[in-house]
Amino acid sequence: MPDLDPALYTVVWIAPLPIEAEVALRMMDNRHTGRFPMSRGDDYVFRAGDINGHNIVVATLPVGQEYGTGSAAALASQAKKFFPNLWFGLLVGVAAGLPSLSREPPRDIRLGDILVALREGDVAALVAYDLGKEMTHNGFELLRLGHALANPDPVVMSAIGSIQLDVKLNKSAQLFLQYYESMKNEDKDGTFLDPGQEHDMLYETADDGTEKLVTRLPRSASQRTRVWYGPIGSGDKLLKNASKRDDLRDKYNIIGLEMEAAGTMNRIPVGVIRGVCDYGDMHKNKRWQPYAAAMAAAYAKAVLNEVRPRSTLAAGDATRTAEVGASRSGEHLGQAGEAGGIRSVFNGPISGRNVFAGNSMTGTTMNFS
């Protein structure tokens, strides 16, 4: 299996859970089947692919490793060290959504919706809700209201703003849904299908701890998926307590909760995109994780398609480019040259260039345009 060159990869897609990494790779325009060379001290096996000319590394936690901000920080730190030319990153996966139906207008977040971390007023895009200090009289004081965390690269925020603008101007269904539909059609096992709105159960919790099932009308097919923009809470605690969830929601005006962003942001400033798989209460389960992860990945692909990379490879890099091309996945291999005595190993884009690499019967030939 060929070696891949870390220097050619400019985007890191952090997908902590195995199901999140799987859907990330399924979203690639091309999957790179080589591997990055490793040595002592390299703790993570990175996978690779490309979208819209971006060479992308998919970073995920090892099977069985504990999730949380500490593990995410270690993963992000090694990715930053391993790939010297990273431009920006995306943290893509699942999270708990925090509906607030008493607001005006109501924040009717549902399972399968998408959460995108953005600043709202004085509240930062990412709120490290368990990072701070205990006060004698005022309870827990959040560290600088989450402002200690780095901000995503401006190009990520610009891409997100462009997607928002497109939706408003076109007044049509979310354009990113095409990426989910394409991936779903290739999924023979039905892993990433919508579990169905009839299985989306939201419970309100009274002050005495009693629960009541909330009745919500099903959304129409054209309005099935909504994207919510606002602050997202990040911490090490896996929250299954409705009262604590509601306190965090109301205190910091957050739209969701997850467990990796606070550990990632100060290593690699990432755009945070999450699919809603539960409501952060005792009813939490994994039924909605595949579908929620797929929806978040579809939005992430839309972000990458908003940012068209410039070609940065010099002529002297052609050999390295061809080595990456030779390791692309088999379903994208060009076949036109076989009948004429040339066996094609790759025909497609790498970092903005159209590349053809092949072997002739008399020697090796490579053509670049």
151 CB burial (10 A radius; 0-12, 13-18, 19+)? middle
The pLDDT assigned to 222 comes to: 84
Domains with residue ranges and CATH for the chain: 6-306 (3.40.50.1580), 318-368 (no CATH)
pLDDT below 50 — which residues of the chain?
132, 134-135, 140, 312-369
47-71 pLDDT, tens per residue? Answer: 999 999 999 999 999 887 777 778 8
- Whether the model pTM is above 0.95: no
Query: Nearest Cα to 46, choosing from 85, 87, 4?
Result: 4
Among 216, 230, 270, CA closest to 77: 270
The CA–CA distances, whole Å, from 223 to 45, 137, 218 equal 39, 46, 10
CB 328 within 8 A of CB 358: no
CA distance 120 to 113: 19
Tokens of residue 75, six digits: 């993963």
Residue 220 CB contacts under 8 Å (≥ 6 apart), including other chains? none
**Residue 320 and residue 369: Cα distance in Å, rounded?**
15
CA 250 to chain CA centroid, nearest Å: 26
Report pLDDT for 36.
96
Residue type, 260: E
**Can you tell me the distance from the alpha carbon of 49 to that of 53, in angstroms, rounded to the nearest whole number?**
10
pLDDT at 326: 44
